[in-house]
Amino acid sequence: MILVSACLVGDNCKYNGGNNENSKVLDFLSDKEYIKICPEVMGGMSTPRLPSEIRGNKVINNNGEDVTVFFLKGAEEALKLADMYKPELIILKAKSPSCGLREIYDGSFSGILTDGDGITAGLLKKNGFKVITENEI
């Protein structure tokens, strides 16, 4: 069993209403059981929604509003699914404030990357799950 960011398999749950469908991910999953997750939607955010980035220990949208609570709830919901299904692998969307791994946008909304994990990726890693991004397939 694998958990995968829903946007990577074509679900239109990205902040702008689109997706990040990735043919390498789809090919990899073609003969495997998987469950799609979108922590931001699972946390109560709508699609579309304003773009958000991590700034310090908060998640802020590009209007300056603190949306951390939605990201924390989504991460907890993703962890519940991971605890329930015990996936051998979790594939998340690179650079996302929820799902980014080792590299995320710096909170300035200027396209600058910085070291760090998204809220969900960090929680799943902390709980011992094997987490990768689509770039590692």
pLDDT at 134: 99
**The dihedral sign for the CA sequence 35, 82, 91, 52:** positive
pLDDT at 93: 99
What are the sequence ranges of the domains in the chain? 2-136
Pairing of strands 131-133, 58-61: unpaired
Mean pLDDT, consecutive 10-residue stretches, the chain (137 aa), reads 99 98 99 99 99 98 99 99 99 99 98 98 99 98
C-alpha 50, offset from chain centre: 15
pLDDT at 73: 99
* pTM of the predicted protein model: 0.97
